[in-house]
Every structure is written in C-alpha cells, then in structure tokens.
Amino acid sequence: MADPTVPGQTPPSSESLGSEPPRSAEITFSRGRLRFRAIDSGPADGEVVVLLHGFPQRTSSWDAVAPLLHAAGFRTLVLDQRGYCSTARPRGRRAYRLSELVGDVLALLDSANLPAAHVVGHDWGAAVAWGVAAAHPDRVRSLTAVSVPHLAAFRRAMIVSDQLLRSWYIGFFQLPWVPERVLTSDGGPAERALATMGMTPEMIARYRSEMVADGAVPGGLGWYRALPFASPGKATARVRVPTTFVWSDHDPALGRGGAERTAHYVDADYRFVEMSGASHWIPEERPAELAEEIIARAQS
C-alpha cells in the first residue's frame, strides 16, 4: 500500500481503511446568537483540514474526501455553514456578507483552539476559503480552493469572458420568493438543472433531504442575495499563503476565464490543477484525485 504521508503518492481508497470506524463527533460552537455545528473526524492528533461546502449542499458533500484525508493522518472539521445549519439561519441579506462567512470560520478555529489550519472549500465554500486566506493569512496554513476562482479573478472574468452568461442565475436568485418556489419543487426545474450539471440521482436525493426538507434553501440563497452589499476589502485582497486551485473543464457555471486569471492574485507557491472531463461536483466525482491534491498542498 502507498504511504499516504509521502507527497506524490495516491492516498488509499476508503475500502482500505480497515474495519475500525474512524473517530467522529459532532461539535457545536456559538457566534453571537447563532449556534453552529461541525463534524470533527479523523486522528485527534492530526493536522487539521477545515472543509467548507458550497451551494446547494451541506457537510455530506465531503463524505468521499474526508476518509482519504484521515488515512493520510489528517483530522477534518467539516462546517455546516451559516444559513444551512438549522440553528444558524439569520434573517436579512446583510447577515450573509462574505465578512460574516469568514468570521464563522474563524469562530470554528477559535472554538477548537486552533491558531491555524489547512482550509479547503468547494463552490461558495471556496469563496469563503479565499476570503479567510486573504484577510487572515496567519490563520491559514495552506489553501485548496475548488471550482470557484479568486474573487477578483471572478469579477474580471465577468467582464472579459463568458462568465457573465454562465452566472445568469445569480440575478434570478435576487428575486423574492420565486427562487424558493423553483428550488423546492419536487422533480421541478431546479432538480433537472442539477442533473444537467452532473448531479447523480443519489446527490439529488440528498439535496431534497438536506436542503429542501430541512428548510435550508432560503439560507443558501441568502449568500447570493448579500452580493449587492459586498464591498472591496481584505477578504478580496491578494493571497499570500501556499495555494492550490482545482478547476474542472466541464463545469457549466465557472469558465476558464476566472480559472486562468487566478494565478495573478496569489503571491505564494501556487498550483493550478485542471480536472479534464469532470463536472462542477468535484468532491463527489473525483474524491481520490482531489484528496491527493489537498494532501500534497498540506504537506508542501
């Protein structure tokens, strides 16, 4: 078996982890009136990797990746983020500004008595991870961003590439009530769109359970609805921590324009990984390859 602690070697599959169930516990912490939950798993003495999910998903989106990190000796903290966690769903669009989302990650680190951690995010989770690394580089040992490029690169791509057309749904999500009805319709256009984007029937079933049935759709939309209140700041500054950006060429939502411009906004060791043929849902579709990149970055 390959040694997962050696850079460049492929991490073992989840089938090879042995019969003993891994250590896993749900932890809770507060930030103001909000109470968050996170899944703390893997070796208790391992270096910590914070995993941040995107929209429209929750902590289960990392279920195939986390065991591979545990096998390599890492401990994972998977955060159920603001608007998704049932006890952390504030009202009002301003409550979902990027500065607040970044603050939630810092509160998680503080609750676990961690001065810093490796930070990994997919989709909106990547946007938050970029924000944490830019505004608080002292709290980030390494960054692995998946699918969503640096926010300044994304904004530039909206002007000079086809990214604006790809992001049409952001404007739709600004409408009141209508997006909620579309996204919660059983078997409706939202589920068909997710399938077109590459979600499997099993993933769509989780969407129905974790997002629709649990009432997390309005909170997830809050992240988009806070965008008009965004202002340039430290969270969109240049990143000065070791960074890997993973992007897939069959992602209909995020084009090559932002992906290729991201390198201009990282003033540290940087690696761009293009996963050929993969859809937007990289953590579920290519977990072993993604875990290998996370491990390589954390060990670099």
Closest CA to 217 of 193, 169, 182, 166: 182
What is the pLDDT tens value at each position of the chain, 300 positions in all?
344 433 444 444 444 444 456 789 999 999 999 999 999 999 999 999 999 999 999 999 999 999 999 999 999 999 999 999 999 999 999 999 999 999 999 999 999 999 999 999 999 999 999 999 999 999 999 999 999 999 999 999 999 999 999 999 999 999 999 999 999 999 999 999 999 999 999 999 999 999 999 999 999 999 999 999 987 678 789 999 999 999 999 999 999 999 999 999 999 999 999 999 999 999 999 999 999 999 999 998
pTM metric for this prediction: 0.92
Q: Which pLDDT score, from 0 to 100, does residue 16 have?
A: 43
In angstroms, rounded to a whole number, what is the distance separating the alpha carbons of residues 228 and 250? 28
Residue 249: DSSP 8-state: T
Torsional sign, CA 287, 46, 12, 202: negative
User: Considering the domain 14-299 in this protein, what is its CATH number?
Assistant: 3.40.50.1820
| Total residues belonging to the chain | 300
Angle between helices 124-135 and 151-160 (to 10 degrees): 120
Closest by Cα among 88, 91, 78 to 35:
88
The CA distance from 191 to 205, in Å, is 9
- Give the pLDDT confidence score for residue 8 in this predicted structure: 43
Locate all alpha helices (DSSP H) within 226-272, ordered by sequence. 256-261
Quote the tokens at residue 25.
């516990």
Tell me whether residue 289 is exposed, middle or buried, using C-beta atoms within 10 angstroms of its C-beta: 0 to 12, 13 to 18, 19 or more.
middle
Q: Give the ranges where the chain is alpha helix by DSSP (H).
A: 66-71, 98-111, 124-135, 151-160, 163-166, 168-172, 178-183, 189-196, 201-206, 217-225, 256-261, 282-285, 287-299
Annotated domain spans of the chain = 14-299
Q: What is the pLDDT of residue 22?
A: 72
Residue 273 one-letter amino acid: V
